[in-house]
Chain A
Amino acid sequence: MDVFSDSYNLDVYVTGFLWILKLTAAGTVGALVIGTLLAAMRVSPVPVLRAFGTAWVNIFRNTPLTLIIFFCYFGLYSTLGVTLSDDLELNNYWLGVVGLSVYTAAFVCEAIRSGINTVPAGQAEAARAIGMTFRQTLTMIVLPQAGRAVVAPLGSILIALCKNATIVGTIGLMESSNAMKDLINSNGDKVFTIFFIFAGTFAIVLIPTGYGFGWLANRLAVKR
């Protein structure tokens, strides 16, 4: 434990996890917003919207996140000159958020769409029978029921997003995995302590979160 009694090392550890927290927070908002819009597009009556949603999902779900984040930095920023902030570190952070959001949105979209599939056809048919429009059917009848069915898969997607946030380290952000690498390289005799502190932090936060989502999913499930 004495590795972390050094104030510099402790600072590396805390900063690393703060970045993960910030990446997860902004990435979650981005992924949920884009993902829900994509899901709505994929079930809409307009063919162009459906095609756009399908293309997005097929492209981003099958491309490695490492490549997407690599592209955000070396493609968007270095080559095309897209700058999201004047501060170099914040710029990397926002590029990472963009990468995480567009990637995770594809998974959110698919989770919501399979949630829509759990809603019995009779619900939508009844809504249409009383004269509701597509938007009313979707927002008042189908999505509220689908939302309760997707708590568990969305939970595991968001937990995965938190773990994937470490990949933003590829473009030089000093997040937790880079922080661990640094500490290991300067304290070669305490490799296991360092690993178990870093891995343990993730485990202590994410395992209960996973069970929490499971409990919530059971509570909210529509009993049929």
Chain B
Amino acid sequence: MSTDAVLYDHPGPRARARNRILTVVFGVVLLGLLYWIYRRFDEKGQWAGSLWKPFTQSSTWTDYILPGLQGTLQAAAIAMVLSLAFGILFAVGRLSDHWWLRIPAGIVVEFFRAVPLLLMMFFIFFGIPFVTEKPMSPLWAVVIALTLYNGSVLAEAFRAGVRSVPRGQSEAAYAIGMRKGQVMGQILIPQAARAMLPVIVSQLVVLVKDTALGYIISYSELLQLGVNNVAANFGNVIQAAMVAAVIYIAVNSTLTAVAGWLSKRTRRSGKAPRAPRPAGALVGTAEP
């Protein structure tokens, strides 16, 4: 059901009047709120040009924001590739016919899905060096933790996707003599990936955002360089946070837009299996 214009009738004169009143009332409340924020900023001198000026200088961008963005994108890119591989591997493991593969894969996936990412990151960054007696690089602490968590969530997404592929597909593949591995790799996984594309992409957006946790273990990413260090130099934490938020939103919106375009392309072939939706329940969501 498309949500617009089904829940309510085409507005008549009275409804239009009421909608106009609501618009005005909410508009006034919203403007009031914005004015309150403006006043609050004004009181604390947050509109001072000197706080915004650093963002018009190229050195702020080349010294802080762009290297930070590069750190974020680098960690995100490595973790994306690794967690997609991890996800496929463990989804296949959980779907295996052998109990000695199925059960350990299940335990690994369930465990890493339940452990908070930050706890994992702290363990890798502060705990592992006690064992190996070598310092851990912040980049790899971020990447490994992101891979374990997001890979496990993706494994569940792939598994739900494989289950949504109609049985006839694998039966037909077996009938023409394909082996188990071939059926999985050439028939089921590609269709599952297509069906679960929206979930996979929103999980990748979650991954990009979670690189910001690297700030806590002093990995040089956007929040560390672009907000923390800029604010330390210019005393403009609010302005720096706003600029960083806009950059994050732009990166993630681009990712979502690419995914929308991709899913439109695959839908055009008309053969993508639908995402599983047993008995009106929603299955498979990204985990923020």
Determine the chain B residues whose CB is within 8 A of the CB of A170 once the complex forms.
215-216
Task: Evaluate contact between B279 and A224: CB separation under 8 angstroms.
Answer: yes
* Interface size class of chain B, counting residues whose CB lies under 8 Å from the partner chain: 35 or more
A152 at the binding interface (Cβ < 8 Å) = yes
Q: Which parts of B101-132 form the interface with A (CB within 8 Å)?
A: 110-111, 113-120, 122-123, 126-128, 130-131
Contacts across chains A and B counted by CB atoms under 8 Å: 227
Task: Evaluate contact between B22 and A46: CB separation under 8 angstroms.
Answer: yes
A199 at the binding interface (Cβ < 8 Å) = yes
Task: Evaluate contact between B127 and A194: CB separation under 8 angstroms.
Answer: yes
Task: Evaluate contact between B285 and A166: CB separation under 8 angstroms.
Answer: no
Q: Which parts of B9-24 form the interface with A (CB within 8 Å)?
A: 9, 11, 15, 19, 22-23
| Among candidates A46, A78, A165, A224, residue contacting B280 with C-beta atoms closer than 8 Å | A224
Task: Evaluate contact between B130 and A111: CB separation under 8 angstroms.
Answer: no
- Chain A residue total in the interface (Cβ 8 A): 90
Q: Which parts of B30-61 form the interface with A (CB within 8 Å)?
A: 30, 40-41, 44, 46
Determine the chain A residues whose CB is within 8 A of the CB of B281 once the complex forms.
118, 148-149, 151-152, 217-218, 221
Determine the chain A residues whose CB is within 8 A of the CB of B282 once the complex forms.
111, 114-115, 118, 149-150, 152-153
Which of A74, A117, A189: most chain B Cβ within 10 A? A74
Q: Select the stretch in A5-13, A88-96, A120-128 that faces chain B.
A: A120-128
Task: Evaluate contact between A113 and B3: CB separation under 8 angstroms.
Answer: yes
Q: Which parts of A167-224 form the interface with B (CB within 8 Å)?
A: 167, 169-170, 176-177, 180-181, 184-185, 188-189, 191-192, 194-195, 198-199, 202-203, 206-207, 210, 217-218, 221-224
| Among candidates A120, A153, A206, residue contacting B1 with C-beta atoms closer than 8 Å | A120
Closest to B124 in A: A195
